[in-house]
A = this chain, B = another copy of it.
Amino acid sequence: MSTNIMPGASTPVPTLDVLVRQRRFPENTGLRFLGTGVSLFPEGAFRAETVRIVEGCVCLYQPLADGRRQILDVLGPGRLMGPVLADLGRCDVMTLTRTCLKAIDPAREALCITEALQQSLRRSQAHALLLGRKTVTERIATALLDLAWQFSHGSPVRGGVTFSLYLTRADLADWLGLTLATVSRCLSALKRHGLIAYDHPKVVTILNREALEALALGAPAPADGGVPT
Protein backbone atom coordinates (compact mmCIF):
# COMPACT_ATOMS: atom_id res chain seq x y z
CA MET A 1 0.00 0.00 0.00
CA SER A 2 2.92 2.30 0.65
CA THR A 3 3.96 1.83 -2.95
CA ASN A 4 0.67 3.29 -4.13
CA ILE A 5 1.00 6.00 -6.73
CA MET A 6 -0.83 8.42 -4.49
CA PRO A 7 1.22 8.91 -1.33
CA GLY A 8 -0.59 12.03 -0.15
CA ALA A 9 -4.13 10.76 -0.52
CA SER A 10 -5.72 9.57 2.67
CA THR A 11 -8.30 7.56 0.74
CA PRO A 12 -6.58 4.78 -1.21
CA VAL A 13 -8.83 4.81 -4.25
CA PRO A 14 -9.60 1.19 -5.13
CA THR A 15 -8.97 1.39 -8.86
CA LEU A 16 -8.65 -1.42 -11.31
CA ASP A 17 -5.20 -0.11 -12.02
CA VAL A 18 -3.45 -2.89 -10.20
CA LEU A 19 -5.53 -5.49 -11.95
CA VAL A 20 -4.82 -3.88 -15.28
CA ARG A 21 -1.12 -3.78 -14.59
CA GLN A 22 -1.08 -7.42 -13.65
CA ARG A 23 -3.21 -8.49 -16.59
CA ARG A 24 -5.52 -10.28 -14.25
CA PHE A 25 -8.44 -10.02 -16.62
CA PRO A 26 -9.33 -13.06 -18.67
CA GLU A 27 -8.04 -12.82 -22.21
CA ASN A 28 -11.33 -13.61 -23.92
CA THR A 29 -13.45 -10.68 -22.76
CA GLY A 30 -12.47 -8.33 -25.58
CA LEU A 31 -10.62 -6.05 -23.21
CA ARG A 32 -7.53 -4.18 -24.33
CA PHE A 33 -4.87 -2.77 -22.05
CA LEU A 34 -2.79 0.25 -22.86
CA GLY A 35 0.02 2.09 -21.11
CA THR A 36 0.43 5.82 -20.71
CA GLY A 37 0.80 8.11 -23.69
CA VAL A 38 -0.44 5.59 -26.21
CA SER A 39 -2.63 6.38 -29.20
CA LEU A 40 -5.96 4.56 -29.09
CA PHE A 41 -6.20 4.31 -32.83
CA PRO A 42 -2.63 3.91 -33.95
CA GLU A 43 -1.70 4.55 -37.56
CA GLY A 44 -4.98 3.95 -39.23
CA ALA A 45 -5.61 0.72 -37.34
CA PHE A 46 -8.77 0.30 -35.26
CA ARG A 47 -10.04 3.55 -36.76
CA ALA A 48 -13.35 1.95 -37.55
CA GLU A 49 -13.74 0.62 -34.03
CA THR A 50 -15.82 2.07 -31.26
CA VAL A 51 -14.62 1.43 -27.73
CA ARG A 52 -15.86 1.91 -24.21
CA ILE A 53 -13.39 3.09 -21.61
CA VAL A 54 -13.50 0.57 -18.79
CA GLU A 55 -10.86 2.11 -16.59
CA GLY A 56 -8.34 4.89 -16.92
CA CYS A 57 -8.33 8.16 -18.80
CA VAL A 58 -7.88 9.27 -22.40
CA CYS A 59 -7.96 12.59 -24.15
CA LEU A 60 -9.22 13.53 -27.59
CA TYR A 61 -7.11 16.21 -29.21
CA GLN A 62 -6.53 17.95 -32.47
CA PRO A 63 -3.01 19.01 -33.39
CA LEU A 64 -2.27 22.07 -35.51
CA ALA A 65 0.49 22.07 -38.10
CA ASP A 66 2.86 24.24 -36.08
CA GLY A 67 2.73 22.26 -32.86
CA ARG A 68 -0.19 23.92 -31.16
CA ARG A 69 -2.87 21.49 -30.07
CA GLN A 70 -6.31 21.64 -28.55
CA ILE A 71 -7.53 18.91 -26.25
CA LEU A 72 -11.22 18.62 -27.13
CA ASP A 73 -12.31 16.33 -24.34
CA VAL A 74 -11.02 14.27 -21.45
CA LEU A 75 -12.81 10.95 -21.10
CA GLY A 76 -13.02 8.67 -18.10
CA PRO A 77 -14.56 5.30 -17.34
CA GLY A 78 -17.86 4.61 -19.05
CA ARG A 79 -17.41 7.05 -21.91
CA LEU A 80 -17.32 5.96 -25.53
CA MET A 81 -14.93 6.85 -28.33
CA GLY A 82 -15.01 6.02 -31.99
CA PRO A 83 -15.27 7.37 -35.51
CA VAL A 84 -18.76 8.72 -34.88
CA LEU A 85 -17.69 10.66 -31.78
CA ALA A 86 -14.83 12.55 -33.41
CA ASP A 87 -13.24 13.27 -36.74
CA LEU A 88 -10.47 10.72 -36.41
CA GLY A 89 -9.01 11.92 -39.66
CA ARG A 90 -8.02 15.15 -38.01
CA CYS A 91 -7.95 14.18 -34.34
CA ASP A 92 -6.10 11.66 -32.23
CA VAL A 93 -6.94 9.94 -28.97
CA MET A 94 -4.25 9.30 -26.37
CA THR A 95 -4.19 7.58 -23.01
CA LEU A 96 -3.17 9.72 -20.06
CA THR A 97 -2.65 6.73 -17.77
CA ARG A 98 -2.86 2.97 -17.91
CA THR A 99 -6.19 2.37 -19.52
CA CYS A 100 -8.46 -0.56 -20.13
CA LEU A 101 -10.79 -0.54 -23.13
CA LYS A 102 -13.46 -2.76 -24.53
CA ALA A 103 -14.53 -2.74 -28.14
CA ILE A 104 -18.28 -2.54 -28.61
CA ASP A 105 -20.58 -3.57 -31.41
CA PRO A 106 -21.98 -0.42 -33.02
CA ALA A 107 -25.02 -2.22 -34.33
CA ARG A 108 -25.91 -3.79 -31.02
CA GLU A 109 -25.25 -0.64 -28.99
CA ALA A 110 -26.60 1.94 -31.40
CA LEU A 111 -28.62 3.58 -28.66
CA CYS A 112 -25.59 3.92 -26.40
CA ILE A 113 -23.66 5.51 -29.22
CA THR A 114 -26.39 8.02 -29.91
CA GLU A 115 -26.47 8.94 -26.25
CA ALA A 116 -22.71 9.30 -26.24
CA LEU A 117 -22.99 11.50 -29.30
CA GLN A 118 -25.42 13.78 -27.51
CA GLN A 119 -23.27 13.86 -24.41
CA SER A 120 -20.19 14.72 -26.45
CA LEU A 121 -22.03 17.54 -28.20
CA ARG A 122 -23.21 18.99 -24.88
CA ARG A 123 -19.72 18.80 -23.47
CA SER A 124 -18.20 20.32 -26.57
CA GLN A 125 -20.64 23.21 -26.52
CA ALA A 126 -20.06 23.81 -22.83
CA HIS A 127 -16.35 23.78 -23.54
CA ALA A 128 -16.76 26.32 -26.32
CA LEU A 129 -18.37 28.65 -23.80
CA LEU A 130 -15.44 28.09 -21.48
CA LEU A 131 -12.85 28.72 -24.19
CA GLY A 132 -14.56 31.72 -25.66
CA ARG A 133 -15.81 33.63 -22.67
CA LYS A 134 -14.52 32.38 -19.34
CA THR A 135 -11.63 33.84 -17.36
CA VAL A 136 -8.63 31.80 -16.28
CA THR A 137 -10.03 31.14 -12.82
CA GLU A 138 -13.42 30.17 -14.18
CA ARG A 139 -11.81 27.74 -16.59
CA ILE A 140 -9.68 26.05 -13.96
CA ALA A 141 -12.56 25.81 -11.51
CA THR A 142 -14.81 24.34 -14.19
CA ALA A 143 -12.15 21.84 -15.19
CA LEU A 144 -11.45 20.71 -11.63
CA LEU A 145 -15.13 20.10 -10.96
CA ASP A 146 -15.51 18.19 -14.21
CA LEU A 147 -12.51 16.01 -13.48
CA ALA A 148 -13.57 15.43 -9.90
CA TRP A 149 -16.95 14.34 -11.16
CA GLN A 150 -15.45 11.99 -13.72
CA PHE A 151 -12.57 10.58 -11.73
CA SER A 152 -13.39 10.62 -8.04
CA HIS A 153 -14.83 7.16 -8.31
CA GLY A 154 -16.22 6.04 -5.07
CA SER A 155 -17.96 8.22 -2.55
CA PRO A 156 -18.26 11.95 -3.04
CA VAL A 157 -17.17 12.49 0.55
CA ARG A 158 -18.32 15.87 1.71
CA GLY A 159 -15.66 18.25 2.75
CA GLY A 160 -13.02 16.76 0.48
CA VAL A 161 -13.21 14.88 -2.77
CA THR A 162 -9.79 13.61 -3.82
CA PHE A 163 -9.02 12.55 -7.34
CA SER A 164 -6.10 11.62 -9.47
CA LEU A 165 -5.23 14.29 -11.98
CA TYR A 166 -4.13 12.35 -15.01
CA LEU A 167 -3.39 15.48 -17.00
CA THR A 168 -0.13 17.35 -16.75
CA ARG A 169 -0.18 21.13 -16.42
CA ALA A 170 0.60 21.28 -20.14
CA ASP A 171 -2.38 19.02 -20.87
CA LEU A 172 -4.63 21.22 -18.79
CA ALA A 173 -3.33 24.24 -20.69
CA ASP A 174 -4.06 22.61 -24.03
CA TRP A 175 -7.50 21.67 -22.84
CA LEU A 176 -8.41 25.07 -21.41
CA GLY A 177 -6.82 27.30 -24.01
CA LEU A 178 -4.10 28.57 -21.68
CA THR A 179 -0.39 28.07 -21.11
CA LEU A 180 1.36 25.73 -18.73
CA ALA A 181 2.59 28.64 -16.60
CA THR A 182 -0.85 30.22 -16.29
CA VAL A 183 -2.40 26.92 -15.23
CA SER A 184 0.24 26.38 -12.58
CA ARG A 185 -0.18 29.90 -11.24
CA CYS A 186 -3.96 29.58 -11.03
CA LEU A 187 -3.80 26.22 -9.28
CA SER A 188 -1.32 27.68 -6.81
CA ALA A 189 -3.67 30.57 -6.15
CA LEU A 190 -6.66 28.27 -5.55
CA LYS A 191 -4.52 26.22 -3.19
CA ARG A 192 -3.30 29.35 -1.38
CA HIS A 193 -6.90 30.42 -0.88
CA GLY A 194 -7.83 27.04 0.50
CA LEU A 195 -10.29 26.00 -2.18
CA ILE A 196 -8.22 23.00 -3.16
CA ALA A 197 -5.25 21.13 -1.74
CA TYR A 198 -2.43 19.10 -3.18
CA ASP A 199 0.97 17.94 -2.04
CA HIS A 200 1.67 15.85 -5.06
CA PRO A 201 0.84 17.91 -8.18
CA LYS A 202 -1.19 15.04 -9.59
CA VAL A 203 -3.43 14.32 -6.62
CA VAL A 204 -5.91 17.08 -5.96
CA THR A 205 -8.47 17.45 -3.20
CA ILE A 206 -11.43 19.74 -3.50
CA LEU A 207 -11.86 21.45 -0.15
CA ASN A 208 -14.55 23.98 -0.93
CA ARG A 209 -16.82 22.70 -3.63
CA GLU A 210 -19.39 25.48 -3.28
CA ALA A 211 -16.80 28.21 -3.74
CA LEU A 212 -15.37 26.41 -6.76
CA GLU A 213 -18.81 26.06 -8.29
CA ALA A 214 -19.44 29.74 -7.75
CA LEU A 215 -16.14 30.55 -9.43
CA ALA A 216 -16.92 28.23 -12.31
CA LEU A 217 -20.17 30.07 -12.93
CA GLY A 218 -18.56 33.47 -12.96
CA ALA A 219 -18.37 34.74 -9.40
CA PRO A 220 -15.61 37.31 -8.92
CA ALA A 221 -12.30 35.60 -8.21
CA PRO A 222 -10.75 36.26 -4.82
CA ALA A 223 -8.16 39.02 -5.10
CA ASP A 224 -4.72 37.72 -4.36
CA GLY A 225 -3.80 40.41 -1.87
CA GLY A 226 -6.80 39.81 0.37
CA VAL A 227 -5.78 36.77 2.32
CA PRO A 228 -2.17 36.81 3.46
CA THR A 229 -1.44 33.34 4.83
Contacts and interface: CB of A to CB of B under 8 A. Distances in A.
Interface of A: 62, 64-66, 68-70, 72, 84-87, 91, 114, 117-118, 120-122, 124-125, 127-129, 131-133, 174-177, 217-218
Contact of A87 (B122, B175, B176): B122
A69 B129 CA distance: 8
Contacts of A69: 133
A210 to B, nearest CB: 16
Contacts of A124: 121, 124-125, 128
A70 B128 contact: yes
Contact of A70 (B64, B118, B132): B132
A210 B85 CA distance: 30
A120 B121 CA distance: 7
Contacts of A114: 114, 117
Contacts of A66: 218
Given A85-B121, A87-B125, 15 more contacts: A64-B133, A64-B218, A69-B133, A70-B128, A70-B129, A70-B133, A72-B128, A72-B129, A87-B122, A117-B117, A121-B121, A124-B124, A124-B125, A131-B177, A133-B177
Contacts of A84: 118
